[in-house]
Amino acid sequence: MQVTIHEQLADVVLFMGTRLRAAEAKGWHEEVKLWRYVRMLDDFVRVTGQVYRFEDSLKRELPAERPFVSTRLGKHEGTLAQPAMQLLLETLDETPEPEHKQQVRVLIALINFIAETGQLDEADGFVVNRLDYAPVAIAHFANHEEAQAWMESVAEPPSPVRILVGDEYYQFWYMREANTRGMYRDHPIEPVLESLTARGIPLGTPSFATRAEAEAWLMSHPAHPYSFVAIAGEHFFAVHHPRLKRHSLHHVASALEAWGERKRAVELDTALETEDSSDGAGE
């Protein structure tokens, strides 16, 4: 049975985790930094929906006897891309197990893919500024009809990715193997909102009469990555999306209420599954 790209990347993550923990145990701080960097590059490819694009480049690269190394890495001095590649090449030489060698080759190919597609600067920005970024959305649609039309019209859409429909996050997925696709409501910022409002909304929140005024102000005062604003007396949670050059605005009271209902539904489903399992075990 052929291994999918998603399964390959899952194995690669486990391999990186093993190497990272080993470096931490030995106090090899530079190596720890490089493994974390490579792991974030893997995250970058995933959240920007480039898994299948990477798979295509991987098929061209892996059969080589000695891994190809992009010459573009030499044009990005001052980043961790070159030392990370050197670490992977050394790891490849030192690793005896064929399975683990394959996983290292995948990581080498991943750095090459980012370099050869001209994304090193963007990827480095993602790594360096990850704490200042909200969960990445790669596209914005005014309504469900626009999102649905895009989903059905693109032959090979990015996947899996988050998109914005209005002000709400959705998770979009596409499976090349079965040529199926879909999307569902996602809730990546509600836990953040819940945490930030636990002690109340900060004083001195900027106040505006209309949404248009709030959006204009946020364009010159972008959130890093979150902030609160008041519009017509109601509090909103502003989420900055640098990639989309916009902010989404989430009505605080409504978002927290919907998030509470979502959590209760999940808890109920979990309780029912546990009850069913217990009943089955007793039969």
252-to-13, 108, 218 alpha-carbon distances in Å:
36, 44, 17
Report d(CA 15, CA 12) in Å as an integer.
5
| Sheet containing strand 137-141, strands side by side | 137-141, 161-165, 168-175, 180-185
> Higher model confidence: residue 282 or residue 122?
122
pLDDT of residue 270: 84
214-251 per-position pLDDT tens digit: 999 999 999 999 999 999 999 999 999 999 999 999 99
**Most confident residue range from 28-37, 58-67, 75-84:** 28-37
89-108 per-position pLDDT tens digit: 999 999 999 999 999 999 99
129 with 152: CB under 8 angstroms? no
Nearest by Cα to 124 from 160, 73, 67: 73
156-180 per-position pLDDT tens digit: 899 899 999 999 999 999 998 888 9
- The structure tokens 């989420």 sit at 239
179-220 per-position pLDDT tens digit: 899 999 999 999 999 999 999 998 999 999 999 999 999 999
Structural domain spans, the chain: 5-130, 133-185, 190-257
Q: What percent of the chain is predicted at pLDDT more than 70?
A: 95
What is the value of pTM for the model shown?
0.85
Q: Give mean pLDDT, residues 138-155.
A: 94
Report d(CA 9, CA 51) in Å as an integer.
9
Please name the helix (run of DSSP H) or strand (run of DSSP E) that holds residue 237, with its range, or none: strand 234-241
Q: Give mean pLDDT, residues 74-78.
A: 74
